[in-house]
Amino acid sequence: MTDETPTPEQNDDFGDINANLQEGLAGFGEGSEDPEPELDQETIDAMEEAQRAMEDARSRLADVPAEVVVTNHVMGLYELAAIHLSATPPDLEQSALAIDAVACLVDGLGDRMGAEAPTMRDALNNIRLAFVQIKGAAQPASD
């Protein structure tokens, strides 16, 4: 983060953006002339079923310890990083973002992640090592 003050040119840019935004939002939220379409019984039933399914999923999720859910997310981010690293060519920028997200969780939460904390630290170290190796292989050797 920086404490840089925007230049006058940047302020003008923001003014244009804000003016365009205001123009685009003009009338937003006001009553429209078209009444909301009526839903048929099949659509209402489907929406109610979806609502019940969502409530059921939330109820099941409430029974799972948070550390399990967080660990699952860490592994999803790890997999995302691996996917970007294994792309042809490797997408180093996207993989770095995913690796940084893993690091935020693993380093930031530490042992609060529970029994899987050491495994998550190992996974983070492994994906970082893979990143460095792939980045090194992707860069042309200097003479």
Domain residue ranges in the chain: 65-138
Mean pLDDT, to the nearest integer, of 97-125? 97
Q: What is the dihedral of CA 96, 74, 76, 79, to 10 degrees?
A: 50
Q: What is the pTM of this model?
A: 0.63
Inter-CA distances, 87 with 1, 44, 83, Å: 31, 43, 6
* 35-61: pLDDT as tens digits: 677 888 999 999 999 999 999 999 998
Q: What is the mean pLDDT of the chain?
A: 85
Q: Is the dihedral of CA 83, 85, 86, 87 positive or negative?
A: positive
